[in-house]
Amino acid sequence: QVQLVESGGGLVQAGGPLRLSCAASGISFNTNVMNWYRQAPGKQRELIAAITSGGTTNYADSVKGRFTISRDNAKNTVYLQMNSLKPEDTAVYYCNTLWLFRNYWGQGTQVTVSS
């Protein structure tokens, strides 16, 4: 059974940092691309960061230079370090991966950035 469990969300002031974690089980984690998405109220879910098994990363323009995705294959965990947070980063953040042709999502973790 595939499980993705996010943690680390919360309320933070604008300009502050926050680190999200996503613990994965039921997949061959070290061979999988891992993604972070977010969904703000009234908006579509958007892909903001991705990391390949080899550690290559990609970011949406909206977070480039402020967010860093990383992974620890020994812990089956992917991280999203978020710095210089802005009120427009307020959203539910989701961990995602594709495994055996199915898309899997975590339950989401709320990030709220106050101005």
Please report where in the chains the tokens 């943690």 appear, as a residue.
7
Question: Mean pLDDT across the stretch 83-110?
Answer: 97
Question: Mean pLDDT across the stretch 20-33?
Answer: 95
The predicted structure's pLDDT at residue 27? 92
The 10s digit of each residue's pLDDT in 51-86 is: 999 999 999 999 999 999 999 999 999 999 999 999
Rg value, the chain, Cα? 13
Evaluated on CA atoms 101, 98, 3, 29, the torsion sign reads positive
3-state secondary structure of 32: coil
Please report where in the chains the tokens 């970011």 appear, as a residue.
59
Q: What is the distance between the alpha carbons of residues 67 and 74, in angstroms, rounded to a whole number?
A: 22
